[in-house]
Amino acid sequence: MTVTLAASVALLWAAVQPRVDAQPTNPGASATAPAPRLSGLPDFTVLVEEVGPSVVNIRTVERVSRAPQLGTPDEQMQEFFRRFGIPLPPGVGPRGPRGDDDDGAGQRRQRGVGSGFVFSADGYIMTNAHVVDGAEEVIVTLSDKREFKARVVGADKRTDVALVKIDATGLKPVRIGDVGRLKVGEWVMAIGSPFGLDNTVTAGIVSAKQRETGDFVPFIQTDVAINPGNSGGPLINMRGEVVGINSQIYSRSGGFMGISFAIPIDEAVRVAEQLKAHGKVTRGRIGVAIEPVDKEVAESLGLPKAAGALVRGVEDGSPAAKAGIEPGDIILRFDGKAIEQSVDLPRIVGNTKPGTKAAVEVWRRGATRTVTVTVGTFDDEEAKPARSEPAKAAPLGLTVRELSAAERRQLKVGGGVRVVEASGPAAAAGVQPDDVIVGVGNQPVGSVADFERLTAALPKGRPVTLLLRRGEWAQWVLVRP
């Protein structure tokens, strides 16, 4: 009995011991499993002590007409509703006659709250443009509770970046980080004044980079809790460097829902330096209307991959027109920089100094060519909007006629045919009578004969693109037989 028990114990002991000579389940894996890379949750205390003194609270005051409403919203909730465009709830509004915020002249002093951070030791503070928009008075409170009236140096609404100045010296500026080193999944921290609660710290991870939600800014997406009052505060990496300015949230309820957006600090610094030097931001423009290049359009035009910006129109007299860029061109590179998506073009052009001569590589009729454009100055008010109806896929079903000499002079085209009738699916796809077809696929159309020859030679069942002129603008229509 004793021998049998000992043998059983020995067998059991051998069974539970690891097999040294056992092969790993994955033939390509090491027999020794790698140690887990995560050693625990990060400690943010050192970062708070280091960066906290550089974060400020910003209060603003503006005068608005008194409305006959009752109720008193607190000043942070007013900023919340104004920032996100939400109507005030019933019963919530300014004070009644001659309330504490009434100046006695039928005006009410409306207050807002936001955050910011020290950009330089001599008193320059960075924040969001929407925090100081419309403010008659800006008050900056430092972490040591000192208060200063601030002067708005400049604000750029397109990037939502503003620079304000206080009369103070010896401040502790933040350290600027490298957004290029920022990785998805990396821990980040925010410090700000949500709902007026100064020096509130929240943390999370980077959810995505290059998130396209604006014309000139590819946002950093995080899950850091951001609420009204956090706007303008810093987004900080684990090295204590500012990598972004907290700016927006995505929400269906008006409150934080796990998605927030920050302006990359490299974009923000570029804007702030122009605001400091000139009080405004100067951007380049070339005067084109563009749209994305999808896989089907790329294939129909012989483009190796779906990339670039499709030129749907060229503004008369614009830098692009003078350089010879044509409707239907696909811009692949601008000033040596690749255009992977159409949204890259306005950002790259906007960051180019006006007057710069830039090489532009375009795809035209199955081949690349390079033109030189002299970048103009972007003006929000003077620039013409680059809009046109979206192209729709449709089968052929068109009746066309020749263009007269007068029509060619008016449209400034050397050829083309006028659409007399667009029936059935063609009409439903957006082709209209009086549209001018100037190209079939990669081939120009000079006459009705050209149109008939080119359309007759189309491979059956293959999609084809028609280049249409409509007024000053041009657009591609992808036609599926």
Contacts of 157 (CB under 8 A, 6+ apart): 129, 130, 133
By mean pLDDT, which of 212-216, 286-290, 332-336 is the weakest?
Answer: 212-216
Q: Which of 101, 160, 329, 344 is catalytic?
A: 160
Complete DSSP assignment for 421-464: EE-THHHHTT--TT-EEEEETTEE--SHHHHHHHHHTSPTT--E
Asked whether the predicted pLDDT for residue 30 surpasses 90, the reply is no
Architecture per CATH, 284-377: Roll (2.30)
Flag whether 130 is marked binding.
yes
Q: Which of 115, 231, 247, 342 is catalytic?
A: 231
Domains 49-165 and 284-377 in one fold: no
Instruction: Based on the residue annotation, tell me whether 130 is a catalytic residue of this protein.
Output: yes
Q: By three-state DSSP, how is residue 52 classified?
A: helix
Q: How confident is the model at residue 452 (pLDDT cuts 50, 70, 90)?
A: confident
Flag whether 178 is marked binding.
no
**Beta pairing class for 241-249 and 175-176:** parallel
Closest C-alpha among 465, 469, 204, 365 to residue 480:
465
34-76 tens-digit pLDDT: 555 556 778 899 999 999 999 999 999 876 555 444 344 455 5
Instruction: Based on the residue annotation, tell me whether 8 is a catalytic residue of this protein.
Output: no
Q: For residue 143, what are its two tokens?
A: 């972490």
244 contacts 263 by C-beta, under 8 angstroms? yes
Measured CA to CA, the distance from residue 172 to residue 411 in angstroms comes to: 60
The mean pLDDT of the chain is: 77
Measured CA to CA, the distance from residue 161 to residue 169 in angstroms comes to: 22
Flag whether 246 is marked binding.
no
Which residue type does 445 have? V
Instruction: Based on the residue annotation, tell me whether 278 is a catalytic residue of this protein.
Output: no
Architecture per CATH, 175-278: Beta Barrel (2.40)
Closest C-alpha among 363, 356, 353 to residue 333:
363
This prediction's pTM: 0.62
- CATH number at 398-479: 2.30.42.10
410-438 tens-digit pLDDT: 777 777 888 887 766 566 666 778 888 88
Asked whether the predicted pLDDT for residue 465 surpasses 80, the reply is no
Closest C-alpha among 189, 395, 359 to residue 286:
359
Q: How confident is the model at residue 297 (pLDDT cuts 50, 70, 90)?
A: confident
Terminal Cα-to-Cα distance of the chain (whole angstroms): 88
Measured CA to CA, the distance from residue 420 to residue 433 in angstroms comes to: 5
Flag whether 230 is marked binding.
yes
Overall size of the chain counted in residues: 481
Q: Which of 54, 101, 130, 329 is catalytic?
A: 130
Architecture per CATH, 49-165: Beta Barrel (2.40)
pLDDT reported for residue 372:
95
Domain residue ranges in the chain: 49-165, 175-278, 284-377, 398-479
